[in-house]
Amino acid sequence: MPNSLPRIVLAFVVTLGLVLLGGGPASAATASSPGRGIDVSWPQCGTTPAKQPAFAIVGVNHGLANNTNPCLASQLAWAKTAKAPATTAQPRVALYVNTANPGRQGTWWPTSNTYSGVKVANPYGSCAAGTFKACSYMYGWAKASDDAKRRGVSNPQSYLWWLDVEAENTWQTDKAANVAVLEGMTAYFKRIGARVGLYSTGYQWGQIAGTVKSTSPLAGLPSWLAGAGSAAKAKANCTLPGLTPGSRVSMTQYISGGLDFNYSCG
């Protein structure tokens, strides 16, 4: 999840359109409206969003892929006040997690294809041999494992997990290695039976991941697009291409009063 300062800047920038950076999930709304979803995370700690949004998305991390939102428990409790039964095509409650590829400069970097006692089938070969894409894949797997097991999420398999892909986090110039991280995360979440989606703007996705192969596990995952400056623009953005081959735009984010709301594309 992005940190708070760039969120303030982006609230202004998004009005220029999708050609620039979009707003991230971190800046969430504090008031609800019929049919609108809301996303919250650590910047909203200490605030009380309006109950019974159409749907809710909660950020699991505290700005980085390797830490925890200190208000996760209370925000999940709030999210579960979302209208029931579901009134849109979105699940009543979903989660999003930060993603990154810090490489060997990170505070932790894998050295094998085993994490937390699990030997992982790695499509990129051996991380122990120093293959960078193989280690990138393992980094993604490990961060997803931590998100599911160590952040305080009960029944992680029951959620849709959105992977927040933004330039504010650390990435490599090797886009294929960045894709490997996201594939590793996707593989872990699917292994436990959870659903997975991708959050970004078309511009940022192109800078970080580039064009993904149709054979990638990322192909066909639902897309959550940021960058709209109004509800009308968000609705129009539902017709944009998804982030990967075969991907459908499932949800779009927009700014209203400096806050983030979400529109379900159905």
Mean pLDDT of all residues in 182-197: 98
- Strand-pairing partners, residue 51, are none
- Of 49-63, 118-132, 175-189, the poorest mean pLDDT is in 49-63
Mean pLDDT value across the chain:
88
Burial of 74 (0-12, 13-18, 19+ CB in 10 A): middle
Mean pLDDT of 167-175: 97
The DSSP 8-state label assigned to residue 111 in this structure reads -
Q: Is the pTM of this model over 0.85?
A: yes
At 113-162, the pLDDT tens digits run: 999 999 999 999 999 999 999 999 999 999 999 999 999 999 999 999 99
Q: What is the pLDDT of residues 28-45, one digit of tens each?
A: 444 445 578 999 999 889
Q: What is the pLDDT of residue 258?
A: 59
**Residue 34 pLDDT:** 53
Strand ranges for 1-145 from DSSP E: 37-40, 55-59, 93-98, 114-115, 118-119
Pairing of strands 55-59, 93-98: parallel
Q: What is the DSSP string of 103-162?
A: GGGSS----SSEETTEE---TT--TTTT-HHHHHHHHHHHHHHHHHHTS--SSGGGSEEE
Give the C-alpha distances (Å, rounded to integers) separating 86 from 36, 58, 108, 225, 236. 12, 17, 40, 21, 23
- Specify the higher pLDDT residue, 1 or 133: 133
